[in-house]
A and B are shown apart, each in its own frame.
Chain A
């Protein structure tokens, strides 16, 4: 089945140790998103790619970077994780942005713990 796949489901890292989260999609969608979601809070958009065009949210910390080497894959790099970065990280895709085409398809998420 076509889907959005995130690996790993749970990730534990040490304070300051770089970590990479991965996302792949078989939907052939143009747009891929990374959201951060902390307990009882709304998903917070970190950045999104429209094809290869990178769009960074103004308040996304510099500690967070992203790569999209091809249509199917997108990576979230956290260069020096702090305790405040512990959260669920959600990858999502959509065919395009704006209007009815922006139905989001989410992966299962990666729960990041920082020790």
Chain B
């Protein structure tokens, strides 16, 4: 069973702090990794994608990928209350199979 694991949270951080969200996956051959943000009652929206080991930065967001350890993380710098949402990790496994989603981590940024 191919799995994507996330801590469900809630993860609470104060405004202005760094929020760190983690995700592990079971398929060593996984190729592509995505972070989606989902506000309550809304559909997921893509915020980051990463395909190579290392860090990828986009504004306040940094995605980190370590294929040897099979984890991918998302850092949110200078967290804002508007960042409060559920963050879904999604992994594209080998071949042309659809993305596998984790259950998501609920982030709460406290003003």
**Known: A42-B88, A42-B102. Contact between A98 and B31, CB under 8 A?**
yes
Q: Return the CB mask of B81-107 against A: 1 if under 8 Å, else 0.
A: 000000010101001111101111010
Is B96 within 8 A of A97, CB to CB? yes
> CB-CB < 8 A to A99: which residues of B?
31-32, 51, 92
Which of the candidate stretches A12-20, A72-80, A103-111 sits at the interface with the other chain?
A103-111
> CB-CB < 8 A to B92: which residues of A?
98-99, 102
Excluding A40-B8, A100-B51, 20 further A-B contacts by CB distance (< 8 Å) are: A33-B98, A40-B103, A41-B103, A42-B101, A43-B101, A88-B41, A97-B96, A97-B97, A97-B98, A98-B32, A98-B92, A98-B96, A99-B31, A99-B92, A100-B49, A102-B98, A104-B99, A106-B43, A107-B43, A109-B42
